[in-house]
Amino acid sequence: MNKKSKSAAIKRSGFGDEFVWGVSTSALQTEGASHADGKGPSIWDEFAKGKKNILNNDSPEIACDFYTKYKEDIALVKMLGIPNFRFSLSWSRILPDGIGTINKKGIEFYHKVIDTCIESGIEPWITLYHWDLPETLQQKGGWTNREIINWFEHYVEVCIKEFKSKVKNWMVLNEPMVFTGAGYFLGVHAPGKKGIGSFLSAMHHAVLCQAIGLRTIKKMQPDAIVGTTYSCSFITPQSDSERDKQAAKRIDALLNRSFIEPSLGLGYPMETLPFLKKVEKYIKPGDEELMRAEFDFIGIQNYTREVVAYNFFIPFLKAKLIPADKRKVFHTQMDWEVYPEAIYQMVKKFSKYKGVKKIFITENGASFPDEIIDGIITDTARENFLKSYLEQVLKAKQEELKIKGYFVWSLTDNFEWAEGYHQRFGLIHIDFNTQQRTIKKSGYWYKDFLAG
């Protein structure tokens, strides 16, 4: 991370005029207004009711109050000179029961957000599903119920019908490996389910939905630019031992291959991960073709690398991750190693897939403790993080890999899932007691960088 002299020289012009620059947020993490104007409860609203599910018993009920402060926040996007704004729609704000009556107030809200972006000269990039499943659908099994492919198709139809005249850039799912793995296997995210069966069924249905979402959008809006986003981590073995190397391959298959390869017609990586053969129980005739999706782009979201060691006692994977603090390497407050080369390696990895046309970094950022001194937040660690990772993005661009854009995570500090409000990723600090916004030094750096 000590690359200050080199990092300081990085310039927007080096990426070319066509490179896309932006910033990302999500509905559940920012909007608040959990029960306002007809919105139904999401699985995260329900999950937050459980004691110890969320750090400090935090709740997304108010979050950043983007629901009432959207004009102020979009004005900040404009002031920072950020030309593209990625945000998500809340399924339960648009369809409170998941599949029933459309909530007109919810539709009106998103029209206002989109209109404000367009009036401000900002291009909206919309994610259709960023983890906030309506609770009524979870009561029917959520992502483990195959009916979700019909529920999701209906939700997408409603969104495209309403917003297709104003929005051209769409993302279908956000990080399906995380919302199925953490939510249906480990139980540490909403809806808090555990077990291999719930995970594999949720995984397969999410793979189907990412393809169904694409086809639905293209049918209704043929000129739309449609992608989906994947979480990814650069995986390395702890040692050169064959057992560690094979363990790293298994983790890589699970985290980085399980969702993109089925969409490319390659199937699930069962040869590397034999336990995935259990997913065949949920595959119906025709699913292999139904899973295929010819996306215009993919979004990859990278923050770190993971170091993996063989461990006999870990079921299915026989592998464990070695935490950054145990390895005594520089890391963020999330205990994610700061390893800039990871983002280059992931662009390189996904660029090798023949079916991948374009790649955008749709999330990259860092959580560090912020301190306000005389109204100023000098978050040098976050600024250096962004510079050093962008060096690696530029390297990928110069090697003519498929990278076409970069979005910072995130615009503001927000509700960071099970971490509540403890972790702060924003370019803009939020005092969650007063909702006061304060642009951090990293935000001003990004502004200056984009201004050239």
Q: Cα–Cα distance between 85 and 121 in angstroms, integer?
A: 10
From 175, 306, 391, 416, active-site residue:
175
- The pair of structure tokens assigned to 280 is 């065949």
Q: Let me know if 85 is exposed, middle or buried by CB neighbors in 10 A (0-12, 13-18, 19+).
A: buried
363 is catalytic: yes
* Residue 90 main-chain phi, psi, to 5 deg: -90, 115
- By the 8 A CB rule, do 378 and 441 touch? yes
How would you label 54-70 residue by residue, b for 16+ Cβ within 10 Å and e otherwise?
beeebbbebbbbbbebb
DSSP character string of 428-439: EEEETTTTEEEE
Q: Cα–Cα distance between 233 and 306 in angstroms, integer?
A: 6
∠ CA 440-441-444, nearest 5°, is: 95
The C-alpha R_g of the chain, in whole angstroms, comes to 21
Per DSSP, helices labelled H in 172-195 are: 176-184
Q: Cα–Cα distance between 197 and 281 in angstroms, integer?
A: 9
Instruction: Tell me what percent of the chain is helix, strand and coil, each rounded to the nearest 5.
Output: 45, 15, 40
Residues facing residue 234 across a β-bridge:
305
From 337, 363, 391, 416, active-site residue:
363
Residues facing residue 429 across a β-bridge:
438
- By the 8 A CB rule, do 196 and 151 touch? no
175 is catalytic: yes
Return all residues near 393 (Cβ < 8 A) that are at least 6 apart: 15, 343, 344, 347, 361, 403, 406
Residue that is written with structure tokens 């407050």 in the block: 333
Amino acid in the structure at residue 162: E
CA 8 to mean position of chain CA atoms: 28
Q: Residue 105 has what DSSP assignment?
A: H
What residues act catalytically?
175, 363
